[in-house]
Amino acid sequence: MNYIYASIPPPAMLFYQNCAMPYRQLNLNDAAAFLQLDPQTLRAMALRAEIPSNHQGERFLFEQEDLDAWYSERILHEAVVKPLDEARRDSQVASACRPLILTPLCSPDAIDSAMKGKTQTAVLRDLTRLATNTGLLYNPDDLYEELRKREQIGTTAIDNGVALPHPLQRDNYMFEASFVCVGRLHNPIFFGAAPDNSKTDLFFLICCKENQLHLQVLTQICMLCLNTSILADLRSCDSPTEIYEVISNRETELNAAKPRKGKR
Express each pLDDT in 79-117 by its tens digit: 444 544 444 444 444 444 568 899 999 999 999 999 999
Domains of the chain: 10-93 (1.10.10), 103-256 (3.40.930.10)
Give mean pLDDT, residues 199-222.
91
pLDDT band at 77 (very low <50, low <70, confident <90, very high): low
- Is the pLDDT score of 135 beyond 80? yes
pLDDT in tens, 15-70: 333 333 445 789 999 998 878 788 999 999 999 998 999 988 889 999 887 887 78
Q: What are phi and psi of 165, to 5 degrees?
A: -60, 145
Q: Do the strands 54-56 and 157-158 form a parallel or antiparallel pair, or are they unpaired?
A: unpaired
Q: What is the pLDDT of residue 212?
A: 78
**pLDDT on residue 260:** 47
Residue 134 reports pLDDT greater than 70: yes
Give the DSSP letter string of 179-193. Answer: EEEEEEEEEEE--S-
| Mean pLDDT over each residue of the chain, to the nearest integer | 82
Buried b (16+ CB within 10 A) or exposed e, 181-215: bbbbbeeebebeebeeebebbbbbbbbbbbbbbbb
Residues 198, 87: Cα–Cα separation, whole Å: 30
The predicted structure's pLDDT at residue 133 = 95
How much of the chain, in percent, has pLDDT values that exceed 90?
Answer: 53
Q: What is the pLDDT of residue 99?
A: 80
pTM: 0.74
Task: Give yes or no for a contact between 180 and 205, defined as CB atoms under 8 angstroms apart.
Answer: yes
Using the predicted structure, report yes or no on whether residue 118 has a pLDDT greater than 70.
yes
In whole angstroms, give the CA distance from residue 238 to residue 114: 9
Q: For position 68, what pLDDT does the model report? A: 76
Q: CA 5 to CA 79: how far, in whole Å?
A: 16
